[in-house]
Structure 1
Amino acid sequence: MFFRQVMDQELAQYAYLLGCQRTGEALIIDPGRDIDRYTEIAKEEGLCIVAATETHIHADFLSGLREFAEHHQVTIYLSGEGGDDCAYVWPKDSGYDIRKLKDNDEFMIGNICIRALHTPGHTPEHMSFLVTDTGSGATEPIGIASGDFVFVGDLGRPDLLETASGVSGTQDPSARQLYKSTERFLALQDHLQVWPGHGAGSACGKALGAVPMSTVGYERKFNAALGFQTEEAFVGSILGGQPAPPLYFTRMKELNREGAPILGPLPVPKLCGIEDLILQSTASHAVIIDTRPDRKQFMAGHLAGSLYAPLGISFAMIVGSYVDPAAEIYLILDEEQVNLAVRTLVRIGYDNISGFTPPSELSSSRLADHSLSRIEFSDLDANVSSAEWTIVDVRGSSEFETAHIPGALNIAHTRLASRINEVPRGKPVMTYCRSGNRASAATALLAREGFDVTLVDGAFEDWAGLRQEV
């Protein structure tokens, strides 16, 4: 059996390519929208992807199932569990080869047996897949593709149906479903490999490990989320301290259920000189996204109105929370980074990527003359007053509750765009987070919206006020 975990580092997401090396047939599990990365691997290995499936209706990226159905002769396997409210809409009357799976249903990919297990909690329709390599003589599974059910060191959050999709009253029942699903997981044999849907950096849980895979036995022993003796204790813990989901999660969930637009070839943004970029970006729905890794450089000089989203693990989360999906996007980044940025953007539904300008153009141009005020936490007055400043803490609520600057307004950076009217305009604004990463993006957004804003950079624990009562 061929096995390949395909990692998307920017979204901390894993897809799985499984192939029968005797028949040359392959299955892709949880593919993203730019499917050429999977078909290229299959081709290199002498395999043909004949089937595609996913563990659930995703909220953090656009599924590649419809793309596979449109462009390749594949069978699409979808969860048929969870009820009508959670059923897929896009396959209806599509003409695609669609098979709905119920709990314990099996299908074959060559000599590989795939068994579907209904493991609700993260979502009502969630499936996990037990994989048995019968071609090698195995009679028991080698692994479980657990999707957003079981991660390394954590479990998938059960609150997103309510916090991201707005279905009120679903958090507690979903958490109880998740508890029942963990009982099923813990009944599996210790040797079984666990192939999760995400790793560290994903917003689909709160304590995901960076190790890419695990075993049932290891998770049984060391996954704290699996160690609760009562359902009530489990529910209280799993629902507590979850980070505010990025705003784009709502749209991803809707599109993945209703049907994501067919992508086809990737967008090809044109190389622009800085004057041309400024001219092109003056359109009402245009936005410049500065991706430079050094936030000090951005604060010191950038194009007026630019958003700041360094390319990396936070890029999709910031863009997805701050940028209108219909916006015409212009990027500040080097040419060798264009492909990565484009792929990350289309994976979360941003297809209108028009141009880019290398950062070197900014350093040599007088047009990048807009700067933002920045101070270090170590230089911040221990008695900084909310009477003089509107202080915005863009960390999560659990971080805020642990310690914060007195009088600060707490708005998670992923929710700032939707709550910006809560920020008073009568006095200057000061933003901070734990390290400066989240606050720098928030500072750029506030400046774009016309606020007089200062970034408090550096480590929160360096603030002298923490040595006093907070």
Structure 2
Amino acid sequence: MYFKSFFDKQLAQMAYLVGCQRTGEAIIIDPLRDIEDYIETAEAEGLRITKTAETHIHADFASGLRDVNRKLDAVPYVSDMGGEDWKYQNMPDNTVFLAEGDTIEIGNIILDVMHTPGHTPESLSFLLTDKGGGSSIPMGIFSGDFLFVGDVGRPDLLETAAKLEGTTESGAEDMYGSVQKAKELPDHLQIWPGHGAGSACGKSLGAVPMSTLGYEKENNWAFQYTDEKEFKKELVEDQPEPPHYFAQMKKINKIDVPLAADTRTYPVSTNELTELTIDLRPKEVYQSGHKHGTLNIPMNESFLSYAGWFLDYDKNMTFIGRKNDADEAAKQLQLIGYDKVKGYISPDNLDLDTVSLTIESEQFVTMYKQKNQDLNILDVRSKSEWEENHLEGARRVLFGDLLTDDLPFDKNEPVFVHCQSGVRSGIALGALEKRGYTHIVDIKGGFGQLEELMDE
């Protein structure tokens, strides 16, 4: 048997390639839209990807399942569980719809199908047995977003992201049942999860790529609860706010993901700036001079996690930056189903007409202690960060909601903005400019520094 995992850092997502070396067949599980790495790996091992499977309808990335079928003629295997509202639509004619107790054969490798709802109603897990290697018992389980290292999948995304009322409660109940079901499986099973630390599909995912079921039974919080009510309470508390694009992912992954297109970008003229224009340059460069009303999301390893909050899938987008950064940004956005990048403009060709205002943490704290009730302070951190500690008199609006939510300050008054470290408040500057605010001041160092200075 051949086994390889693929980790995408931007999405903290795991895909898996499993092949039978005797027959040359292989399957890819939970693929992204960019399937080149899977193909290259399979060919290097003398394998051909003949099948592809998905553990559930994903909310955090655009599935590559249909592209594997279109480009490689691989047979797709998807869930038929969870009821009519959770059925895949517009699938290829050769799609195999799976239920509890079904099997997928890849040469001499067997995947036994388990229904493990909770994260979503249709979620499946696959138990792998290497019969070609002489085994009659399963080696491990592809647990998708049911079971992670140190955590289980959150049940609230259908309600918080897709606005399907009441699904959090039913999902939490299902997750409790799935955990009890997993307790009956052998301890030796390796756990191959769908995500690692950094994913928004749970609140406390571990950073190691795999585990064993025995280890999780001893250390994963979800296995420690025997009271269903207490389990459900812990499961839903303090889950991070899901990025806005999650709702779009649920929709297109269920109905149809278009064929992935070429993501190379090309220069556009200065009069082609779109309603949403993202400046890809570092925060400090942007703040020293930028185009008024553009959004600064630097092209780094966190780009996708921030950009996903602001996408309008019906509208085009333009970048400001260099071609290599624009190409990478477009490639990453395609992973979450966004294909409307119009092009990029070099900052050398633009009149960078706006300089951001900033203030040192020490200077702000002096002002705050003198007249905190007279300052307009905007905290753009998450709900959990805010509840842990915040400045008295501050108002909170999550950074990703700044283009859409009602804002609590007069547009012509000074507004002092902070997050935890300074990254999200840098993005907030451009969002507030777009909303017409004329005097925005970014507090350097964020709440991390402010908290230390307040205690002195």
Question: 1:280 maps to what in 2?
Answer: 272
1:266 to 254, 262, 265: 262
C-alpha distance in 2 between matches for 1:347 and 1:269: 16
**Aligned-pair CA distance for 1:183:** 1.3
Q: After TM superposition, list the pairs within 5 Å mapping 1:308-319 onto structure 2.
A: 308-319=296-307
Structure 2 residue 441 is matched with structure 1 residue 449? no
The question of whether the paired residues in 2 share the 8 Å contact of 1:246 and 1:415 is answered with no
Return 371-380 or 113-122, whichever deviates more. Answer: 371-380
Q: Secondary structure at the match of 1:7?
A: strand
Question: 2:385 maps to what in 1?
Answer: 399
Q: Secondary structure at the match of 2:405?
A: helix
Question: 1:177 maps to what in 2?
Answer: 174
**Aligned-pair CA distance for 1:339:** 4.3
C-alpha distance in 2 between matches for 1:29 and 1:199: 16
Q: After TM superposition, list the pairs within 5 Å mapping 1:385-396 onto structure 2.
A: 388-396=374-382
Q: After TM superposition, list the pairs within 5 Å mapping 1:103-182 onto structure 2.
A: 103-182=100-179
For normalisation by structure 1, the TM-score amounts to 0.90
Unaligned runs of 5+ in 2: none
**Aligned-pair CA distance for 1:426:** 5.2
**Aligned-pair CA distance for 1:215:** 1.3
Question: 1:330 maps to what in 2?
Answer: 318
> What's the RMSD between the two structures over aligned residues?
2.2
Question: 1:289 maps to what in 2?
Answer: 278
C-alpha distance in 1 between matches for 2:205 and 2:449: 27
Question: 1:203 maps to what in 2?
Answer: 200
Show CA shifts across 1:310-365 (max 9, x none): 2344322322211322333232444444443222111112212232356xx55xx7
Structure 2 residue 237 is matched with structure 1 residue 240? yes
Percent identical residues = 41
The question of whether the paired residues in 2 share the 8 Å contact of 1:244 and 1:414 is answered with no
**Aligned-pair CA distance for 1:429:** 2.2
Q: Secondary structure at the match of 1:15?
A: strand
**Aligned-pair CA distance for 1:174:** 0.9
Change (3 A) 1:425 1:176: same
**Aligned-pair CA distance for 1:425:** 2.9
2:246 to 244, 249, 254: 249
Question: 1:419 maps to what in 2?
Answer: 405
Q: Secondary structure at the match of 2:50?
A: strand
Show CA shifts across 1:379-434 (max 9, x none): 32243757544322121112211211122222222333331455553523222111
Name the aligned partner's letter for residue 16 of structure 1: Y
Return 446-455 or 25-34, whichever deviates more. Answer: 446-455
C-alpha distance in 2 between matches for 1:61 and 1:366: 33
C-alpha distance in 1 between matches for 2:371 and 2:413: 12
1:346 to 334, 346, 350: 334
Structure 2 residue 420 is matched with structure 1 residue 434? yes
C-alpha distance in 2 between matches for 1:55 and 1:257: 13
Unaligned runs of 5+ in 1: none
C-alpha distance in 2 between matches for 1:118 and 1:244: 27
Show CA shifts across 1:419-458 (max 9, x none): 1455553523222111112222122211222213222231
